[in-house]
Every structure is written in C-alpha cells, then in structure tokens.
Amino acid sequence: MPSAKTQPARGMRDFLPEDVRKREYVISVIKEVYERYGFEPLETPAAENIETLMGKYGEEGNQLMFKILKRGVHEGTGEADLALRYDLTVPLARVVAEYRDKLPKFFKRYQIQPVWRADRPARGRYREFYQCDVDVLGSRSMIVEAEIISASSEALGKLGFSDFVVRLNHRKVLTGILDAAGIAQEKHVTALIALDKLDKIGADGVLREFEAREVVAAEAGKELLALFEPSGDNEEILARLERFIGSHVIGLEGLADLREIISYLPSSVVRIDPSLARGLTYYTGAIMEIQVEDLAGSMGGGGRYDNLIGMFLGRDIPACGFSLGLERIILVMSERNMFPVNLLRSPADVMMAVWRDAVEDALSVAAELRRQGLRVDVYPERDVKLGNQISYASKRSIPFVAFIGEEERGKGLVVLKNLKTGEQEILDRGEVAHVVLREVRRVE
RNA sequence: GCGGCAUUAGCUCAGUAGGUUAGAGCGCCAGAUUGUGGAUCUGGAGGUCGUGGGUUCGAGACCCACAUGCCGCCCCA
C-alpha cells in the first residue's frame, strides 16, 4: 500500500504523462483561440501580498485562501504576509494598476495558470487547479462581453463541445428585480444565494429558503419566482423582466446591456437566465456561466467588474472577463472520450534495441533517425535478450524496433521490425528513417 | 464547516460468527536450444491489511481518534 506519505497533498494531484498530454492539448486549443481574438499572454506570481487578496472574494474566500507564514525569525508569530492566488482576476487588477502607463488603452490578456483554494475536494474540484482567463480592461462597451462570450464558446467548440449553454444575467437586473419585489437591501445577498440554487432545489425549495431566512413574504415570493420560469425565448424573458422591474432605473440599465449583448451574438449561444447569481462579490454588471448537461457545477464563468481595479488604483477602470476551468473541461472530455486518438499515441516512433558489441552503432543510428525528426527511444541496457527488448517496445506500443546484429555490423545494415505486422526487413541504415516516417504519417 | 460510505499486493477486489506462516485476477520480472514481442505453459518478486491508540488469551476483522478518497449539504472553476 502506498503509505500516506507518498500521496500528493490533499486536493492536489500529480500528472502522469497521459494526464500532461491531455492538459497540454486543451491548453493549446484554448490559447490558440484566445490569440486569434487578439488577447495577449500574461503570467503573475503564485503568491501575492496578503492584503492584495484579502477582502476581494467575500468571507468565504478569505477562509479558503492558502496563507503563507512569515519566514525566518518571524515565523513564530504565526502571522501571514503572503497568500497563494485565489483567482487570476485580482492579480490582473493589481498588474493593471501597477503598469497602467505601459499597457495599451484597451488591455486584452489571457492567462492560464494554477490557483489555490483550501476547499474540500470533490468531483472536478481541487485545491490546486488551473483557470484559463480572458479579460478586457478599459472599456464599458458591451462589445467586450460579446467578444468574451464568443471566444470562450469558440474554445469549447474547438475542443468538441456542442451541447453547452452560456447563461447570462446582470447584477443590475438582479438589483432591480429584488427591489421591485420589495426585498430589503440587506436581504439581497441572502435572496441571491437562494435564487442561484433554483435549478437544483426547484421553485418550492427557493420559497422555503425565502421563508426560512425571512427574505420576503410568501405571496410576493411566488410572484417573484414566476419570473424565473424557463419558458420563452430570450426576448420573452427580457419582456417579462421589464414588466416586473417597471421604472427601476438601475434595473433598466441592466436590461439594456443584456439586449445589446445578445444582439451581437448568434441566438443559439446565450440564454438569459435571471436566476444566475454567481458568488464573487466584485461583479458589477453582466455575469455569465457556461454549463453542460452532465456536470453539476459550471465549466466556467465570468462577468463585468468595473470597480475592482479602482481598489488598487484609486480610480476606476472598467473590466470584464471570463474564466474556463481546465480540470472540469478535462473531466467531461475524458468521460465522453473526446480526446483525439493520437494524443494517446506511443512515446516513440521507433525503439533502437542494443545488441552486444553494437551499442555505438545503435546510438549513431538513433542519432541519425532523430535528425530526421523521428522520436527514437534507445533501450537503456545492453546484453538484455532481444526478445525482452522487443517485448518492452511492444508493451509501450512503439510501432518499430531497429537493431544491429552480428550479421549487419560493419555492413551499414539495420534490421527494422514492424511490430504491428510482425514483418521485418534488412535495410541500409540510410533507408530506415524513410520507412518509419512513411508508416507514422500514414497512421496520423 | 456538517452528514454518509470507503481505505487489504502496482491495479481491481476476496477475506467466512475475531483464531495457526493473509488470497485471487490482471499487471510486473524471468525461464521454456546462445539474434525476435503479442498466445500458451512454468516459476518469481511484491503486503508490519491507511496511521495511532484501545478491547481481547488472540484483530485485516470490534471500538475511538486522525489522515486520505468518494457521495450529499455549503460554496465554487
């Protein structure tokens, strides 16, 4: 039994070669799409000064943050002065505040890095996980929201997803709805938490929560919940919301934003969903989330946060972003077998077996094949029976084994065995690469 | 943070009402006429039964605590 000591820390994982291949594949697709939308790469340190992060994510976030004790003689104080980043948005806000004069007027960046949360691990949920963020800073235009939704959707599409939905809502609309329903300001957060659970616990469940937390009277609650019935297309939902909100100025601003956003996007992509709330406290405008059927949580989410950078800079810079969750994407893709087959290909195109006194010849042939662009594994021990060497290559599904025996030595000849067909031929060492390459390309 | 279930060889799991040296399948390593794999046969290595306490003449089995994992709640990517 692996003693507990060799397991990675709770909620964290080692990535074996196959895992890394999958991760790198997904990351490369996402990156490529983001680049095509004109986003530039950014990386920031794993740790931030603790005051940079504290208070940006609400009470829950403060608790789930991994804090780092002061080092050296100060360690005994038990005081933390650093923390591992909790998301990529707050570090971005810090960067923008710090380098304002060096960055373009509209800063579009993507960032694919790990973040850490001291959460309880669960399906698709870890304590160290990657976020793939895109953000646009410096513009209040709804074109930004549309572009971000479009880029994220396209990335998922490129990965092979076709059944996802982008749920779209707006903080201001929520404010309008809750005000119009007569819910007191200080009960708004409680009401939103309950509403967010609508698709999980149903309308009755939400009503019970309302009652339990004294959010709103039962009668008004029912009227409110009627708003959230999933019936109707986006236009009908928006009309319904507008009737309910009436003349609430803030709420109407939100509705106008939503109308503008969906007008820029194909109608099939986005679904207005008034029950979407999202936990992070820094959102101020549109909020969105991407969902697929067989995943309880979301595959990603984001929104507009016009005030966050102001917390660092002293003057507001509008911003909007979206974050895809790498491990959730990988989880669903693995379950659905969505990874391309050649990702799971063998570690090498050909293995050079080493035979008795021909080690140097084998190494020089290997070098030659590598120069031709082939991936060549050299069996790392000599004087091992040829059968065992071939068996080793076969188990690792390497398609070819090459070796130089007594009869070939000194003649510039190499035996090349195709492990799939079992056939083998004696070739001039110059021909080997050609034969292997032909087969490798045929398979790919 | 709360509740439930789990933890025995590298992997998946058996282990009868607590009783001598803990098992299987797969995998791994090797052998079956000195240069040929996948099939078959044979053999081998590998576990202080998650950790620490306790009950007992005796515990992998029972009790407690802790750790880790899974499923709900909470929250979230």
Domains of chain A: 17-335 (3.30.930.10), 345-443 (3.40.50.800)
Q: Which residues contact A95 (CB under 8 A, 6 or more apart)?
A: A42, A44
Q: Give the nucleotide nearest to A125 (CA→C1').
A: B77
Q: Is the CB of A435 under 7 A from strand B?
A: no
> B51 C1' – A332 CA distance, angstroms?
34
> B53 C1' – A7 CA distance, angstroms?
24
pLDDT at A23 over 90: yes
pLDDT of residue A5: 64
Any idea what the Cα angle at residue A193 is, between residues A188 and A195, rounded to 5°? 90
Q: Is the CB of A131 under 7 A from strand B?
A: yes
| Burial tier of A12 (Cβ tally within 10 Å: 0-12, 13-18, 19+) | middle
Q: Is the CB of A1 under 7 A from strand B?
A: yes
Which of A238-242, A274-278, A353-357 holds the top average pLDDT?
Answer: A238-242
Q: What is the band of A111 on the pLDDT scale with cuts at 50, 70, 90? A: very high
**Alpha-carbon distance values, A135 to A28, A71, A377 (Å):** 18, 34, 43
A278, A196 Cβ separation under 8 angstroms: yes
Positive/negative CA dihedral, A192, A196, A197, A202: positive
Interface residues 240-279 of A with strand B (CB < 7 Å)? 278-279
Percent of chain A residues past pLDDT 70, beyond the cut: 98
pLDDT at A1 over 60: no
Report the amino acid identity of residue A444: E
> B24 C1' – A2 CA distance, angstroms?
21
> B37 C1' – A383 CA distance, angstroms?
17
pLDDT at A328 over 60: yes
Q: What are phi and psi of A423, to 5 degrees?
A: -80, 150
A168, A273 Cβ separation under 8 angstroms: yes
Interface residues 83-102 of A with strand B (CB < 7 Å)? 87
pLDDT of residue A115: 95
pLDDT tens-digit series, residues A163-222? 899 999 999 999 999 999 888 888 888 888 888 888 777 788 888 888 777 777 778 888
Q: Give the nucleotide nearest to A280 (CA→C1').
A: B76
Interface residues 297-316 of A with strand B (CB < 7 Å)? 297-301
Q: Is the CB of A16 under 7 A from strand B?
A: no
Q: Give the nucleotide nearest to A193 (CA→C1').
A: B75
Lowest model confidence (mean pLDDT) among A40-44, A80-84, A226-230: A226-230
Q: Which residues contact A189 (CB under 8 A, 6 or more apart)?
A: none
Q: What is the band of A402 on the pLDDT scale with cuts at 50, 70, 90? A: very high
Q: Is the CB of A200 under 7 A from strand B?
A: yes
Strand B bases with any atom < 7 A from protein Cβ? 1-2, 7-11, 27-31, 34-38, 47-51, 67-77
Lowest model confidence (mean pLDDT) among A185-189, A363-367, A370-374: A185-189
| E-strand stretches of A138-249 | 165-170
pLDDT tens-digit series, residues A132-158? 999 999 999 999 999 999 999 999 999
Q: Give the nucleotide nearest to A398 (CA→C1').
A: B37
Higher pLDDT, A340 or A366: A366
Determine the average pLDDT of the residues in A358-383.
92
User: Which residue minimizes Cα–C1' distance to B38?
Assistant: A394
pLDDT of residue A205: 80
> B63 C1' – A1 CA distance, angstroms?
24
Q: Which of A301, A263, A34, A280 is nearest to A168 (CA)?
A: A301
Interface residues 53-72 of A with strand B (CB < 7 Å)? 58, 60
pLDDT of residue A181: 87
For chain A, what is the mean pLDDT?
A: 90
Percent of chain A residues past pLDDT 90, beyond the cut: 61
Q: Give the nucleotide nearest to A424 (CA→C1').
A: B36
Which of A6-15, A218-227, A312-321 holds the top average pLDDT?
Answer: A312-321
> B52 C1' – A6 CA distance, angstroms?
18
Determine the average pLDDT of the residues in A35-57.
95
Which of A6-20, A245-259, A282-296, A398-412 holds the top average pLDDT?
Answer: A245-259
pLDDT of residue A2: 34
Interface residues 100-119 of A with strand B (CB < 7 Å)? 117, 119
> B49 C1' – A16 CA distance, angstroms?
28
Determine the average pLDDT of the residues in A10-35.
93
Q: What are phi and psi of A235, to 5 degrees?
A: -60, -45
| Burial tier of A245 (Cβ tally within 10 Å: 0-12, 13-18, 19+) | buried
Q: Which of A315, A288, A432, A424 is nearest to A366 (CA)?
A: A432
A310, A138 Cβ separation under 8 angstroms: no
Residue with tokens 């994407």: A329
Q: Which residues contact A137 (CB under 8 A, 6 or more apart)?
A: A92, A96, A103, A106, A107, A108, A109, A309, A317, A318, A319
Q: Give the nucleotide nearest to A129 (CA→C1').
A: B77
pLDDT at A159 over 80: yes
Say if strands A319-325 and A286-291 run parallel, antiparallel, or are unpaired. Answer: unpaired
Rounded to whole angstroms, how far apart are CA atoms A220 and A187?
14
pLDDT of residue A204: 80
